[in-house]
């Protein structure tokens, strides 16, 4: 059964009958969870099982944003609180090792409840004066530091049986506003973007999944945000950066985008993304997005299959207690 090029959210900790029927009909490739979907570990596991049942695919990817810091959908009392990405960038010599261990622990948390994709690492390089939406989520302000810690996070996740999503391609660090609320316009030169913003993505171009940025780069395409720009997707993401994994949009319900939800999806597919992401669980919006979403085929299907092929089975022999103790001791020692 072929999946549709969609990743969708749902409204709560249990599937509503209307959601169950809708997902069975449109057959999205995957799903994404937010805090509104997170109850006890048993409830999360029941939800991920139910979501996969609707599409009849045991390997249907289920995503979450579990970076640590401000962006952590699963937290106390059932899961530990993890530090923001900037903490690892300040650890100097131990930063990459600690980031990898933290990601391995996050992967254990996610895989235990049926979540197989984490929307991390964040590879954005913030600059002075940029909006705080990235802020302490970033691993540092130098592209080489961001790339090194980003790779450690990605590899730690994959060791634990969870796929990483590198984001927000080709870079959100210069945005002067939050794309959840408005459309950022970046006027940096192509040379500046090459020297900083693109570099972490080039360094991690071998990763299986990536997320686009809802940002206009005037030096690349002054009219359209990257998510909907054929120039950015084809010439920069696929060409200059060299990424050949599955490219998904950032959330289509963000206010950076204009037009109806069908038009937002159509423009994204026309630009060359492989799958569109809609997160808020609003049924009327999901129906409109689904109307524009094709079945996965061609390169998009190849990339989706290649991504899932990199999922490891449930890892064995991981000493959770020892790893958590080592992580906490490492952070305490560095402090």
Known catalytic residues? 180, 250
Q: What is the three-class DSSP state of 40? A: coil
Residues 6+ apart with CB under 8 A from 9: 31, 32, 33, 34, 37, 278, 279, 280, 281, 286
Instruction: Give residue for tokens 């991690």.
Output: 204
Q: Which of 4, 16, 1 is nearest to 283 (CA)?
A: 16
Bridge partners, residue 295, by sequence: 4
Q: Which of 200, 197, 195, 199 is nearest to 184 (CA)?
A: 197
Instruction: Give residue for tokens 């996070």.
Output: 153
Helix (H) or strand (E) holding 177: none
User: Omega of the bond prior to 173 within 30 degrees of 0, cis?
Assistant: no
- Count helices and strands in the chain by DSSP H and E runs: 12, 12
């Amino acid at each position: 059964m072929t999946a549709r090029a969609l990743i969708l959210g749902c409204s709560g900790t249990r599937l509503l009958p209307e959601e169950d029927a809708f997902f069975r009909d449109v057959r999205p490739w995957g799903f994404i969870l937010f805090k509104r979907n997170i109850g006890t570990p048993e409830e999360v596991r029941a939800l991920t099982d139910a979501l996969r049942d609707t599409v009849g695919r045991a390997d249907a990817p289920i995503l979450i944003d579990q970076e640590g810091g401000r962006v952590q959908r699963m937290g106390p009392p059932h899961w530990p609180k993890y530090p923001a990405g900037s903490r690892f960038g300040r650890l100097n010599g131990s930063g990459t090792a600690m980031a990898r261990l933290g990601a391995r622990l996050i992967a254990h948390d996610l895989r235990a409840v049926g979540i197989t994709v984490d929307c991390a690492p964040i590879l954005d390089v913030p600059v002075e004066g940029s909006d705080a939406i990235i802020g302490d989520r970033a691993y540092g302000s130098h592209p080489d530091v961001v790339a090194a810690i980003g790779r450690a996070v990605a590899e730690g996740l994959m060791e634990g049986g969870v796929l990483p999503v590198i984001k927000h391609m080709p870079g959100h660090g210069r945005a002067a506003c939050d794309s959840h609320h408005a459309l950022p316009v970046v006027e940096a030169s192509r040379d500046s973007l090459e020297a900083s913003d693109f570099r972490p993505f080039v360094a991690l171009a071998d990763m299986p999944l990536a997320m686009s940025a809802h940002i206009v780069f005037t030096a690349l395409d002054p009219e359209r945000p990257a998510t909907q720009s054929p120039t950015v997707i084809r010439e920069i993401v696929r060409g200059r950066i060299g990424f050949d994994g599955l490219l998904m949009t950032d959330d289509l319900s963000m206010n950076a985008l204009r037009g109806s939800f069908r038009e937002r999806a159509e423009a994204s597919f026309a630009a060359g993304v492989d799958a569109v992401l809609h997160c808020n669980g609003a049924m009327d919006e999901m129906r409109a997005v689904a109307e524009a979403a094709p079945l996965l085929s061609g390169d998009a299907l190849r990339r989706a299959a290649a991504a899932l092929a990199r999922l490891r089975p449930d890892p064995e022999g991981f000493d959770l207690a020892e790893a958590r103790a080592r992580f906490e001791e490492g952070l305490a020692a560095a402090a």
